[in-house]
Structure 1
């Protein structure tokens, strides 16, 4: 098998990882190719044993990249990929590579097996893929992977002499997201409260401190710069992405659409408010059981408009393929059902690896499969949707980096001349306006931070 070759900028990244300090953050923008850099770095550092902790959806991808890029064939030939607790029992003295999902890694029996075997055999490096999901110090997964104080003690990261954080979106909400990394890297010795006091602002609600934004980002950027490497797609490619916002006016939504008639049965009180708001052209005062419920129901109200726009695009260009992202199952299922004539496939969390791979292969290679519908959390990272020319995000996340992850799925840096388009779909005078405002503020803060890196 002929090994794939890194691009020049990836060579720089692989050398940086192999020869750098014990704790590093590879923060290249999404779709720049971080996984191959890690794989080659493992060989260049002459590691004997590697533990990869990653989202479930990319376990197979990590093994494939070790096969495709790593000159040390022993990793791929002596790998254990954990899909069930029993797979952890396969780890022995000959195992060179262990790949496990975050969710499985923190289950009691799997964690115990990983930790026990790690204490016996040890690891040269723990690679934390999509490390932005380890930002909550109080979360069980963060405690078991990084330790209760984010120093690696009595945790999986502490089993290795080195630890690589890998994510294109290290700061998702605010500067406090970087506290676990700063502690693990030895950049910050004080408490989390001291960290948030210096780099965040907010208020105390009587129970706890609520962070509402970030400050002193230039100083934080300088703090992490020596152990952080970040390159943007624009640094390595001339790829063009056209980002637009499409606004649906409430009066444009038919109150007699089947989706809303079904909603009237499921949520009669809300449906009455929704119909009244649609007729008045103002949905800002809609009230439901929770913000999440409000967003789900607003998502359903947008289904008809989204489907109409997608059909127009598909009919205008017979060769066009489209990816559609949202958050809630009901709106996503409705979109898929209305687009079944285009062989639309639907990916949620919990989809089996085999079925997921079949979907992705069909979307990439089958001309008749022209629409991919996915959940932002489950399908927004770690997969390749570059066959698509256009992406619709009709239920955007409050977290701009989640949206950016999904947007990047359709990008291939080796196709710089192929124009891609992203369309955010919002319902005017609704909760969508608040989502947009918060995402814009958080995006500005992220840009301020990385100017100093």
Structure 2
């Protein structure tokens, strides 16, 4: 497939495909060498996963690979905020132009949100079409067959995973399917099962000393550690707490997954630190009014429901206390020479409190209600205007498809209970244009249960890529 593209421009140098083709159409972006190499790797595979770190250029790499296989009809499934990013990328990256639209249409490239994939009308319109290529961006969104979006994309499992009915799944409409995700197993190896069962089932079959793990039960028994959790006097459920036989699972994935870290492509990794904040004795006592043992156990086991149950009533209070302390620390940092800073939080009222208190320093912000247009404007203002020195983002809403590398420091005022949210948000301040050492700081309330909880979450955060190491 690659040779056909090279011969079509009568040139052995693949770089020239992205600078000038025979029609004289000039691409707006020149790729990095690793993107061309990774594009070649993708182009050689009908199904694959690009699991490279955030900010390493997976979007451009996928478009380069699409050009290499001469894919014209392309369906992209991505996050709601990622739709505008992909539309812009298809205007700048391709070696030949394609028409682009958001949502189903007659355009060459159609870009759909993960939520849109579950909407009957949109899905029906797409199932009537054929595509050369399906790109599943942020593919960890389809990590469980219990979710409608997973079944919409991959198919409906039958007989506990022994079969997957894919006739009315989006993957059945494309000859080639590529997944993109920096965190494909965000919580445990269990997250990999739907993708592997659907796109490379042969890798789950028995071979050598490795058993057959095609069924969901067999996969879980082999690669996932669970513990029973009692939810009533008479009933308990299994809770995923980690992985096992990971070297064997890596062997199964070999050749299906391509991964580059930020360090591999010349991006310096952030330095991670905690930032203790002093609180009054009265505030500390209020925060410690919680079942400490149960809370830390839930954090270690990744039990987000239990975390919300034990911490929920105090979580907003924790954020509000932190916000007041963070404002003082941010103003001091800016007054002492820091040019720009990114603050990430969870609750809307915490974001609002930070924004109001720091308004005089110039603020741009994004939360879950921010439209795609205003999202782009906020990103641009923070990047281009020297007097906009503070960016405040909601961890999930501002954790993907955004470049905040105008700043070299990011502080988590609040944390997410899902480690991959933190991992992705942290890398918003790193890319090839970042010439300074990036620092990511997790704010903690010194001497309180919050300090112990954040330490537990940071340990999980640092371990989520173990399978792909």
Shorter-chain TM band? 0.7 to 0.9
Superposition TM-score, scaled by structure 2 size: 0.82
> How has the CA–CA distance of structure 1 residues 152 and 300 changed in structure 2, closer, same or farther, with 3 Å as cutoff?
farther
Secondary structure of the residue aligned to 1:378 is coil
Instruction: Tell me the CA shift for residue 275 of structure 1.
Output: 6.4
Secondary structure of the residue aligned to 2:429 is coil
Q: 2:123 corresponds to which residue?
A: 111
Instruction: Tell me the CA shift for residue 420 of structure 1.
Output: 1.6
Alignment pair present for 1:223 and 2:252: yes
Q: Deviations over 1:141-177 (max 9, x none)?
A: 1111222226644211221111111011111111101
Unaligned runs of 5+ in 2: 1-24, 158-163, 205-212, 230-234, 296-307
Instruction: Tell me the CA shift for residue 29 of structure 1.
Output: 0.7
> How has the CA–CA distance of structure 1 residues 294 and 145 changed in structure 2, closer, same or farther, with 3 Å as cutoff?
farther
Q: Alignment partner for residue 193 of structure 2, among 179, 190, 193?
A: 179
For residues 362 and 374 of structure 1, the distance between their equivalents in structure 2, rounded to whole angstroms, comes to: 14
Secondary structure of the residue aligned to 1:226 is coil
Q: Deviations over 1:243-296 (max 9, x none)?
A: 2111224437xx6xxxxxxxxxxxxxxxxxx56436xxx465489965334322
Equivalent residues in 2 for 1:145-156, closer than 5 Å: 145-149=153-157, 152-156=166-170
Alignment pair present for 1:57 and 2:81: yes
Farther-moved stretch of structure 1 (233-242 vs 296-305): 233-242
Q: Alignment partner for residue 320 of structure 1, among 336, 339, 343?
A: 339
Q: Deviations over 1:315-348 (max 9, x none)?
A: 111x611111011212122111111112212211
Q: 1:311 corresponds to which residue?
A: 331
Unaligned runs of 5+ in 1: 83-87, 256-273
Q: Deviations over 1:374-418 (max 9, x none)?
A: 111111011111111211112122233221211111112243x32
> How has the CA–CA distance of structure 1 residues 151 and 442 changed in structure 2, closer, same or farther, with 3 Å as cutoff?
farther
Instruction: Tell me the CA shift for residue 55 of structure 1.
Output: 0.8
Contact 1:397 1:435 in 2 (8 A): no
Q: 1:210 corresponds to which residue?
A: 239
Structure number having the greater helix percentage:
1
Q: 1:385 corresponds to which residue?
A: 404
Instruction: Tell me the CA shift for residue 299 of structure 1.
Output: 1.4
Q: 1:427 corresponds to which residue?
A: 445
Q: CA RMSD in A?
A: 2.2
For residues 436 and 240 of structure 1, the distance between their equivalents in structure 2, rounded to whole angstroms, comes to: 20
For residues 151 and 329 of structure 1, the distance between their equivalents in structure 2, rounded to whole angstroms, comes to: 41
Superposition TM-score, scaled by structure 1 size: 0.85
> How has the CA–CA distance of structure 1 residues 173 and 217 changed in structure 2, closer, same or farther, with 3 Å as cutoff?
same
Instruction: Tell me the CA shift for residue 210 of structure 1.
Output: 1.1
For residues 290 and 159 of structure 1, the distance between their equivalents in structure 2, rounded to whole angstroms, comes to: 45
Q: 2:303 corresponds to which residue?
A: none
